[in-house]
Amino acid sequence: MAEFGVAAFGAVAGVAVSKLCTVISKLRGQPNTDATFIKDELASIQAAIIQRLASSSGGHVSCLQIVWIAQLRCLAYDIEDCIDCFDANKTTPEDFANKIAALRRRSIDTTDRIRRYSFPDEAAPATSTGTSSSSHSHGHAAAPAELTDLLGDKSRQVWLVGNLNCLLYLCLFPRDHHVRAKPLIRLWVAEGLVQGEKNAVENLDILISNSIFNFIERSNNGKVKRCQRTDEMLRYISQWSMSENFILLCDGTAQLLEAGSARRLTVHPCAINGELMSLPDDLPRLRTLAVFPAGGGGGATSLASYEDVLEFAKYKVLRVLDLKECAHLREGHLRDICDQVLMKYLSINPGSINSCITRKIGDLERLETLDLSGAETVTVTVYKEVLLLPKLKHLLGKFELSVSDTLSVPILGFITSDLERFLRDKSVLQTLTGFVTGWTLGFPQLMSLMRRLRKVKIWCESSASKSNLRAISCAITKFIRDGVDQEPGRSLSIDFGKWGKFVTTTISPVKGRLASLKLRGNLRQFPQFVAQLSAIEELCLWSTELTWTDILQGLSLLGVLKYLKLIEDNLGRIEIRPEHLKSIGRISLVSVPALDITIQAGALLNLVSLHILCKDLLVMPGTPGIEITHMAKLREVALHLQVGDTIKTTWQQAASGHPKKPEVLLIPGP
């Protein structure tokens, strides 16, 4: 349906208009009349687009109008690139004025041509050739029902104009690829397809609720973790993407057309002999570049096979670079990548950079996400330039600060360096997952200064000094206390190693709440700082050596707990009575040895999801051991993939006899 293309243009035009308004205001006493003219012109066209969508009743858009939409979208992209390069000092004011003047001439030529053909004219016939929608004029198959239903929902018109390009962005990933939710959200934001992560989350929820995906994996806390497009949807949006030149696919199986104007390039392995088709020498308008290995996952692919076709120095306006699946990067690659000053999202396999990121990354002043999380076993050394990035929100991987940058750290509460002042006053870092606490100074001392942190992961190495561990304990205390009124709540993950008892006993118990808390390592006793929290939405305990009795006693002091996950082999006998865990909505028990579980009638009345991942599970519902019929809200039961047939059948029968008929899932365990 051509309405999809119409709505997609509306979103691009909206971004261009917004940026034109910003740059006009920055010019202050020297207004650029060309910029003002283009802004007004695009705003008028965008308003007409929205009006057309609101009054549309059948998808009647002509072939010429489809061509015009593509031309207007290209114009809007070029305007945005021009403004961004000016803001990043890639062009001088004189060059900016000349480029805006040229864009004004293009705008006049394009809009004059459109007006001569009376667009958008609601009364105009669909087309003289009898093609009434893009599904015919472009040779598309009929749009999937889920998409037509979404378009036909008038309450979704604002969503359509603002977010339909997000749907096309799903063509970036190979077929059968499981799309990870959090990176997808950050990609949308980096590309400017949505305004902020909150809108991106809402957008993903809309796609999920309208059955755009046929596979959805949720974390045990109920949040979407991974998803996969339906085959019908992928076929349709791929055809649509090709006809709109939205994403250029390089897999060695087709000739690349209009590559010079490509905005997004996704590189998939060739289906024949593993060879890649040569790319054009120049891709000056490329905004997104993603490289995927064979099969869409499962091991990194050497970048050596791409070196002759991917020339980062020739990309002028790159915003997104995803090389997470690539196993090798040369020094020259990194240097050229760090010249991409418009970059907002950068993902690199940590094993490909010799465990150290160059200081030159400080040139990427617009970078919002730096993802080096390809392997938790690789600790990446970073310099202070990473922490000084002014717009960095998400730092993902396993990091330690370079020894050369640890000479100036907070001592006795005094701020003594530019780095410390920046972290205290200007840093926007929200996600730090995570950093290593060893014998050197660095992150343990700096964490307390990062006021906007919402999610932190910490590894305590066996070589950690006690002074560093005390610094971590103080930082954690402050993190919990300062985040008590934050929405959404803060998340904390700690892998104690051998230091569980020392760290937990030095964290000061404070009244506060956490959205998520994950503790791994031998604790010996339930941590007092956890028991004193007013609420935890999600608690995960992993290899703590705590028994069920220890855990239950500690949890009895908590006010609210919605999700509990235990990955433990020494729980002993588990008995859940009606007075236990009244607020729990989800519970997950993971064990290698057989579990001895009793869930009494009347217990866990608010339970929505029950996961018992134990290959040698012996307990069954409908026996004195486990009773589920009274769990009126139960929607899901998960068992170990290799559980015995008798156990599996009994659980399935119990689920079919349950009033809510919860789904029984079989998933891999430990």
Per-residue pLDDT tens over the stretch 372-424: 987 667 889 999 999 999 999 999 999 999 888 875 555 544 445 888 889 99
Angstrom distance (rounded) from CA 468 to CA 471: 5
Whether residue 276 contacts residue 181, with contact meaning beta carbons closer than 8 Å, is answered with no
pLDDT of 565 above 90: yes
Helix (H, G, I), strand (E, B) or coil at 663: strand
Determine whether 250 is exposed, middle or buried from the number of CB atoms within 10 Å of its CB (0-12, 13-18, 19+). Answer: buried
pLDDT of 103 above 90: no
Give me the residues paired with residue 495 across strands.
459, 520
Nearest in space to 208 (alpha carbons), one of 189, 188, 225, 183: 225
Of the chain, the percentage scoring pLDDT greater than 70 comes to: 75
pLDDT of 303 above 70: no
Q: What is the pTM of this model?
A: 0.87
pLDDT of 116 above 90: no
Helix axes 157-168 and 2-27, enclosed angle (nearest 10) = 100
Nearest in space to 432 (alpha carbons), one of 421, 446, 417: 446
The whole-number pLDDT of residue 255 equals: 56
Q: What average pLDDT does this structure show over 646-670? A: 88
> Which of 3.30.2450, 3.80.10, 3.30.70, 2.60.40 is the CATH number of 247-405?
3.80.10
The 3-state secondary structure of 178-213, one letter per residue: CEEHHHHHHHHHHHCCCCCHHHHHHHHHHHHHCCCE
User: Which of 33-47, 61-75, 336-350 shows the highest mean pLDDT?
Assistant: 336-350
Whether residue 102 contacts residue 109, with contact meaning beta carbons closer than 8 Å, is answered with no
The whole-number pLDDT of residue 96 equals: 83
The whole-number pLDDT of residue 14 equals: 63
> 95-109, 148-162, 451-465: which range is least confident on average?
148-162
Burial string for 51-81 (b: 16+ CB within 10 Å, else e) reads ebbeebeebbbbbbbbebbbbbbbbbbbbbb
Whether residue 122 contacts residue 53, with contact meaning beta carbons closer than 8 Å, is answered with no
The whole-number pLDDT of residue 88 equals: 86
At residue 73, φ and ψ (nearest 5 deg) are -65, -40
Between 69 and 245, the higher pLDDT residue: 245
Angstrom distance (rounded) from CA 25 to CA 30: 9
The whole-number pLDDT of residue 122 equals: 46
In degrees, rounded to 5, the angle at the alpha carbon of residue 217 between the alpha carbons of residues 213 and 218 is 120
Helix axes 63-87 and 93-116, enclosed angle (nearest 10) = 170
Between 337 and 22, the higher pLDDT residue: 337
What number of other Cβ atoms are within 10 A of residue 609's Cβ? 23
Helix (H, G, I), strand (E, B) or coil at 466: helix
At residue 616, φ and ψ (nearest 5 deg) are -100, 35
Between 282 and 519, the higher pLDDT residue: 519
The whole-number pLDDT of residue 422 equals: 93
Q: What is the mean pLDDT of the chain?
A: 80
Please report, for the chain, the start and end positions of each structural domain, with discontinuous segments joined by +. Answer: 1-139, 247-405
Beta strand pairing call for 248-250 and 224-229:
unpaired
Between 140 and 212, the higher pLDDT residue: 212
Between 430 and 594, the higher pLDDT residue: 430
CA-CA-CA-CA dihedral for 530, 535, 537, 540, to nearest 10: 10
H or E element in which residue 495 lies = strand 491-495
Angstrom distance (rounded) from CA 194 to CA 161: 11
DSSP 552-586: HHHHTT-SEEEEEEEE-S---EEEE-TTS-TT-SE
What number of other Cβ atoms are within 10 A of residue 417's Cβ? 14
How confident is residue 571, by pLDDT bands cut at 50, 70 and 90? very high
- Show Cβ contacts of residue 509 under 8 Å, excluding neighbours closer than 6 positions: 528, 529, 531, 532
Q: What average pLDDT does this structure show over 242-261? A: 71
The whole-number pLDDT of residue 71 equals: 74
How confident is residue 307, by pLDDT bands cut at 50, 70 and 90? low
The whole-number pLDDT of residue 314 equals: 82
Radius of gyration of the chain (CA): 28
How confident is residue 365, by pLDDT bands cut at 50, 70 and 90? very high
- Show Cβ contacts of residue 125 under 8 Å, excluding neighbours closer than 6 positions: 60, 62
Angstrom distance (rounded) from CA 238 to CA 177: 14
The whole-number pLDDT of residue 164 equals: 74
pLDDT of 129 above 60: no
DSSP 304: G
The whole-number pLDDT of residue 132 equals: 36
Angstrom distance (rounded) from CA 6 to CA 61: 9
Q: Encode pLDDT of 617-641 as tens digits.
A: 887 787 667 888 889 999 999 999 9
Nearest in space to 422 (alpha carbons), one of 398, 392, 457, 394: 392
The whole-number pLDDT of residue 423 equals: 93
Give me the residues paired with residue 215 across strands.
228
The whole-number pLDDT of residue 131 equals: 35
Angstrom distance (rounded) from CA 214 to CA 227: 8
H or E element in which residue 67 lies = helix 63-87
Q: What average pLDDT does this structure show over 528-553? A: 92
Angstrom distance (rounded) from CA 112 to CA 431: 48
Q: What token pair was written down for 248?
A: 């250029």
pLDDT of 294 above 80: no
Q: What token pair was written down for 390?
A: 């002014």
Whether residue 189 contacts residue 368, with contact meaning beta carbons closer than 8 Å, is answered with yes
Of the chain, the percentage scoring pLDDT greater than 90 comes to: 34
Burial string for 494-529 (b: 16+ CB within 10 Å, else e) reads bbbbebbeebbebbeebebbbbbbbbbbebeebbeb
In degrees, rounded to 5, the angle at the alpha carbon of residue 215 between the alpha carbons of residues 152 and 394 is 90
Nearest in space to 534 (alpha carbons), one of 561, 551, 559: 559
pLDDT of 301 above 60: no
Give me the residues paired with residue 401 across strands.
382
- Show Cβ contacts of residue 649 under 8 Å, excluding neighbours closer than 6 positions: none
The whole-number pLDDT of residue 58 equals: 47
Query: Between the CA of residue 364 and those of 41, 475, 607, 613, what are the distances in Å?
Result: 33, 28, 46, 44
Nearest in space to 42 (alpha carbons), one of 104, 113, 118, 121: 104
Kindly tell me the sign of the dihedral angle through the C-alpha atoms of 314, 319, 324, 330: positive
